Amino acid sequence: MSPFHDIIDSLDPVRIRTNTRNITAGQVKALLEAIRAGTVPNPEDISILVSPAAGELLEPMARLAKAVTLRRFGRTIQMYAPLYVSNHCSNSCVYCGFNVHNQIVRRTSSRGETLSEARLINNQHISQLLLVSGESPAEVSLDLLETTARDLKGMFPSLSIEVYPMDTSDYTRLYKAGIDGLAIYQETYDRDIYSAVHPAGPKRDYAYRLGAPERGAAAGFRQIGIGSLLGLNDWRVESYCLAHHAAYLMKHHWKSQVSISFPRLRPAAGGYSPEFPVSDRELVQMVCAFRLMLPDAGLVLSTREPAELRDNLIGLGITKMSAGSKTAPGGYLDRLGNNLDRLDNNLDEQGQPAEGQFNVCDDRTVEAVAESIRQKGYDTVWKDWDSGFEKQNENQRQNIKIKNGK
Amino acid sequence: MLKPLVIAGRAIRSRLFLGTGKFSSSAVMARALEASGAEIVTVALRRVEFDNPQDDVIAHIDQRKYLLLPNTSGARDAEEAVRIAKLARAASGWNWLKLEVTPEPNYLLPDPVETLKAAEILIKEGFIVLPYINADPVLAKRLQEAGCAAVMPLGSPIGSGRGIKTADQIRIIIQQATVPVVVDAGLGLPSHLCQAFELGADAVLVNTAVAAAQDPVQMAGSFKLAVEASLAGLEAGPMSEGEAASASSPLTGFLR
């Protein structure tokens, strides 16, 4: 069992909530001043940054978050896209469109279909790909993921996965196959809520999931993405646990870069409505709080969020965004229409497209998002690493040539 | 007269090196580069799109005017750094290398053990190696013995803009150096550059201080002026510190 497990078990949500509510404006101002003077906050300080009192000081917080982001990341935003391999799932997460009980069109892309989709994504300049799948090892086996990674690593300098949790040995196989990043969100750190929203299926095992980021780091992944699904629990309590989780990973797995995502519950099949909705203002406060807390961490925002909000968060702490995303297997082929494989791909026998995991809110193309980033005075970073640099992929890029400049 | 800066047999006309990361666009980067007067320009190989002959950053650097110093940032160990260097050389012919082994992704501090290991391998492979190091005088000596063309000690962590917090160590490195010393990382203001030269540095490297400035092009120009002012001041022969406060009644006046 993960040693972080003991830490999380020692946290008392009621005490965290009370502490956060009792924070005063004076404490917030003092902390912001200290950060301005160069202090890096400790994980306990997250209570101050996500407090209602800090919410009243959002403008100065945002200014400081912007300055910290600029110093560490410059005027750049990294871009990635997800590729859904399958929407088969044995879990029953009440908030998710892939819930086993939902009567939706299910499919798993064939190797050829995944390659076709990958090419379409790659043609839009995307170099960082996130492979996503529901939890169905029968449909999406480790072997399939391994094969997919080997198929795609020549096309994408960086490949990550967001799939079911695994043992270290399985993660090691994927790392060796060319996967360099792992995203796995605990959804909620609150055990009771976790049990309630995951009534059946392998995902009920809270502890196994909680230990996954550490197992991934032990396997060698360079990037470890964690997060809470916003809307399942009080976001302030989740932020506290998430900050401690990040701090723990950074201390104990110091060679992996930790990034934080802010997935906010969106309408999905099954019609779940979040019990603890998070407002735009609260989401912005959370992003700024994490930027100030973890000045070097990547902060990720997906197309779950609307275009306008995403554009406004450029530079305010967010450093990585997805674009042009489709959240169903075969989704890219369907969207780009004129593809001859279309009928064989995203549609079932009755001609229905496979269901997405959630409704994409920012449905702009990759180019349109890149243009918005430019308009904001930022540069898009497409590539930030090359798996060809790693030992296991040594022979992957032998015939490359780059011309010298002008 | 200051000695001209020569690295690996090549005379370098500017003592200001510029990094190319974090700019709002490659066009702004190119203008900042022009304004800085720099000759040596560093580029993160991890961001270069080797498959794209029109790679944006590379396409904006005129290699007839600038000497490209690609860096291995992101390498977690010697093996990765060596592989990055070889891959880049195979793709482009680049032979100069800013060696960075930074396994810790937050402060991006260099790993001394892996840096030395990588330097030894790369020098045997014929690379001209300029290693990014913590301000550690013994490590600097070891790297010089290994055949590095210069050493690049940090003033403070990359991107921090905190200035030279390692002055005492850098002074020792400079005093003992048999190769040029380039102060790299942490410089945020023109005055930080002046301090580096006053410590005796041969050159400085900046990136974030320019890229994250409100007006990067103007800041690049101001750094150029800071370098010129520092060097002109050193050439002019600065007064020695404390002269104005010498005791009016000499303590050794009794010695006739």
Residue B2 lies in a domain: no
| Residue A394 domain-assigned (yes or no) | no
Query: Looking at residues A267-271, what average pLDDT do you find?
Result: 66
Q: What is the pLDDT of residue A344?
A: 42
pLDDT at A386: 85
Q: Tell me, what CATH number does A32's domain have?
A: 3.20.20.70
pLDDT-derived band at A39 (thresholds 50, 70, 90) equals confident
Residue B145 has pLDDT above 60, yes or no: yes
Rounded Cα distance between A292 and A239, Å, is 13
> Could you tell me if residue A365 is inside a domain?
yes
Inside any domain, residue A401: no
Residue B118 is assigned to a structural domain of this protein: yes
**The pLDDT of residue A336:** 47
Q: Which residues pair with B12 in a beta bridge?
A: B5
**Domain membership flag for residue B122:** yes
**Is the residue at B245 inside a domain?**
no
The pTM for the full model equals 0.86
B221 lies within 8 A of chain A by CB: no
Residue B182 lies in a domain: yes
Contact B204, B193 (CB under 8 A): yes
Nearest residue in B to A154, CA atom = B51
Task: Answer whether B63 touches A (CB < 8 Å).
Answer: yes
**Whether B22 is catalytic:** no
Q: pLDDT at position B152, please?
A: 97
**Is residue A391 predicted with pLDDT exceeding 90?**
no
Query: What tens digit of pLDDT does each residue of A4-16 get?
Result: 888 888 888 888 9
Percent of chain B with pLDDT over 90: 71
* Structural domain count, chain A: 1
pLDDT surpassing 90 at residue A102: no
Find all residues with CB under 8 Å of A168, minimum gap 6, and list them: A215, A218, A219
Q: How many domains would you assign to chain B?
A: 1
Quote the CA–CA distance of B78 and B154 in Å, as a whole number: 19
| Partner residue opposite B103 with nearest CB, options A127, A255, A405 | A255
**Which of A270-284, B163-177, B232-246 has the least mean pLDDT?**
B232-246
How does residue A393 score in pLDDT terms, banded at 50, 70 and 90? low
pLDDT at position A400 is 52
How large is the ipTM?
0.78
- By residue range, what is the domain housing residue A149? 3-389
Determine, yes or no, domain membership for B56. yes
pLDDT of residue B1: 53
Strand order in the sheet with B16-19: B152-153, B128-133, B96-99, B67-71, B40-44, B16-19, B203-206, B182-184
Where is B130: in which H helix or E strand?
strand B128-133
For residue A399, tell me if it sits in a domain. Answer: no
pLDDT confidence bin for B245, thresholds 50/70/90 = low
The residue among B34, B49, B92, B215 with the most chain A CBs within 10 A of its CB, best to mutate, is B49
Domain assignment present for B4? no
Distance CA B180, CA A31 (A): 42
Q: What Cα–Cα distance (Å) separates residue B210 from each residue in A384, B21, B22, B56?
A: 21, 10, 9, 19
Domain that residue B159 falls in: 14-235
Rounded average pLDDT over B42-62: 82
- Minimal Cβ distance to B55: which of A250, A254, A402: A402
Measured CA to CA, the distance from residue A21 to residue A50 in angstroms comes to 9
B240 lies in some domain: no
Location of structure tokens 């605990």? A186
Q: Is residue A284 assigned to a domain?
A: yes
Which residues does A67 contact at the CB level (< 8 Å), separation at least 6?
none
Q: Are A291 and A69 in contact (CB under 8 A)?
A: yes
What is the CATH classification number for the domain harbouring B218? 3.20.20.70
